[in-house]
């Protein structure tokens, strides 16, 4: 089982990265795509078709960019209509958007959205996404709505909870704030306001167990930070392709080790931890909410 997130194939370099993936190497493998493929429906369809030609099975959950409603092809859609279009495309390509089992390993897509910061309007999502009025307030309405969409898989999730087989869950958004650097570390300091959902954390722990277990793994995306950390018994991993400019300056990660093999044919998980700059940093340094001084590498550019 392989994983990748944040493909952003609206960038020609990123689409070319997919085109250059072997058409033979992964014919028996499964790929998890943890959201943010493209906001253009045709580009999304082309990308997913290319991935399905290269992998035996592909699992997908949408990210925020996938639900943007911009351009002529989206003028008659709102973001919920866009979600239905994405699901229809995936169904036509035989791409999995619901839980499924692959050689004794359960793969569980979890739909989610972040808790909104109503006062923060500079994020593109607030302009590019179009929601029904009833989902615009309160600030948890969208997060609750998307979490509830997972309930249609309740029978399958109940079976998974009682299963002795390995379970890999995945989402686009973050289940925990500890999976993002502190605000003072960020060039985009408002990022923590638009990253995650408490509903998502509760949902995945209802599957892996409240205390997790030695084999529990959750894959996520969205923040474009390569990450590998274990928190309260669950291993959280992000393997983003991200934007070309980010990939060029990243310390660890990028196309040199993507897509990332997270589980081998014996069901053994990737050895931990992966060398990821920020999760390595927080293994050695405690978070300090009282420290409001900009990190030196951030301060130097202000």
Task: Report whether pLDDT(254) > 60.
Answer: no
Contact 281/184 with Cβ under 8 angstroms? no
Rounded to the nearest 10 degrees, the angle between the axes of helix 12-19 and helix 41-54 is 20
Q: Cα–chain-centroid distance for residue 10?
A: 17
What is the mean predicted confidence (pLDDT) over 268-296?
Answer: 88
What is the mean predicted confidence (pLDDT) over 62-80?
Answer: 86
Give the 3-state secondary structure of 92-157.
HCCCECCCEEECCEEEEECCCCCCCCCCCCCCCHHHHCCCCHHHCCCCCHHHHHHHHHHHHHHHHH
Task: Report whether pLDDT(252) > 70.
Answer: no
Higher-scoring residue by pLDDT: 90, 187: 90
What is the mean predicted confidence (pLDDT) over 118-125?
Answer: 63
Q: What is the pLDDT of residue 36?
A: 98
Q: What is the pLDDT of residue 233?
A: 95
**Among residues 199, 204, 143, which one has the least CA distance to residue 170?**
204
What is the mean predicted confidence (pLDDT) over 39-43?
Answer: 95
H-assigned helices in the chain? 12-19, 41-54, 79-92, 125-128, 141-149, 154-161, 198-208, 244-249, 277-284, 296-299
Task: Report whether pLDDT(86) > 90.
Answer: yes
What is the mean predicted confidence (pLDDT) over 31-41?
Answer: 97
Contact 175/208 with Cβ under 8 angstroms? no
Q: Give the global pTM.
A: 0.94
DSSP-assigned letters across all residues of 70-82: -SGGGTT--HHHH
Q: How confident is the model at residue 46 (pLDDT cuts 50, 70, 90)?
A: very high
Q: Is the dihedral of CA 50, 254, 201, 36 positive or negative?
A: negative
**Among residues 33, 25, 10, which one has the least CA distance to residue 93?**
33
User: What's the CA gap between 275 and 253, in Å, rounded?
Assistant: 8
Q: What is the pLDDT of residue 275?
A: 87
Average model confidence (pLDDT) across the chain: 90
User: Which residues, in sequence order, are bridge partners of residue 57?
Assistant: 30
User: What's the CA gap between 190 and 44, in Å, rounded?
Assistant: 28
Task: Report whether pLDDT(253) > 70.
Answer: no
Q: What is the pLDDT of residue 297?
A: 76
Higher-scoring residue by pLDDT: 259, 127: 259
Range of 12-26, 118-132, 282-296 with top mean pLDDT: 12-26
Q: In what order do the strands lie in the sheet containing 227-231?
A: 100-102, 105-109, 166-170, 217-220, 234-238, 227-231
Share of the chain above pLDDT 90, in %: 66
CATH code, residues 2-284: 3.60.21.10
Contact 6/33 with Cβ under 8 angstroms? no
Task: Report whether pLDDT(123) > 80.
Answer: no
Listed by start position, the domains of the chain span 2-284
What are 166-191's pLDDT values in tens digits? 999 999 999 999 999 998 888 888 88
What is the mean predicted confidence (pLDDT) over 268-280?
Answer: 89
What are 207-242's pLDDT values in tens digits? 999 999 888 999 999 999 999 999 999 999 999 999
Task: Report whether pLDDT(302) > 90.
Answer: no
Classify residue 263 by its DSSP letter. B
Q: What is the pLDDT of residue 289?
A: 83
What are 187-211's pLDDT values in tens digits? 888 888 899 999 999 999 999 999 9
């Amino acid at each position: 089982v392989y994983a990748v997130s944040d493909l952003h194939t609206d960038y020609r370099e990123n689409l070319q990265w997919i085109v250059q993936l072997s058409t033979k190497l992964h014919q028996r493998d499964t790929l998890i795509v943890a959201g943010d493929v493209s906001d253009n429906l045709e580009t999304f369809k082309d990308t997913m078709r290319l991935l399905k030609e290269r992998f035996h099975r592909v699992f997908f959950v949408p990210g925020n960019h996938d639900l943007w409603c911009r351009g002529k092809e989206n003028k008659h859609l709102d973001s919920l209509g866009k979600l239905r279009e994405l699901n229809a495309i995936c169904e036509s390509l035989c791409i999995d958007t619901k839980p499924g089992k692959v050689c004794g390993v359960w793969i569980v897509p979890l739909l989610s959205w972040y808790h909104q910061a109503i006062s923060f309007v500079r994020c593109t999502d607030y302009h590019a996404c179009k929601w029904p009025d009833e989902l615009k307030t309160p600030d948890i309405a969208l997060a609750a709505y998307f979490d509830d969409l997972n309930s249609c898989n309740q029978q399958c999730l109940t079976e998974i909870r009682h299963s002795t087989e390995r379970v890999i869950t995945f989402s686009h958004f973050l289940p925990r704030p500890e999976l993002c650097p502190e605000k003072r570390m960020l060039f985009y300091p408002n990022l923590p306001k638009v990253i995650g959902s408490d509903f998502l954390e509760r949902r995945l722990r209802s599957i892996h167990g409240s205390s997790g277990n030695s084999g529990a793994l959750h894959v996520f995306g969205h923040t474009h930070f390569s990450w590998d950390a274990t928190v309260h018994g669950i291993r959280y991993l992000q393997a983003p392709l991200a934007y070309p400019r980010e990939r060029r300056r990243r310390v660890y990660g990028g196309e040199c080790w993507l897509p990332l093999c997270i589980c081998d044919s014996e069901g053994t998980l990737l050895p931990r931890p992966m060398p990821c700059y920020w999760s390595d940093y927080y293994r050695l340094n405690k978070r300090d909410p009282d420290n409001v001084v900009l990190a030196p590498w951030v301060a130097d550019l202000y």
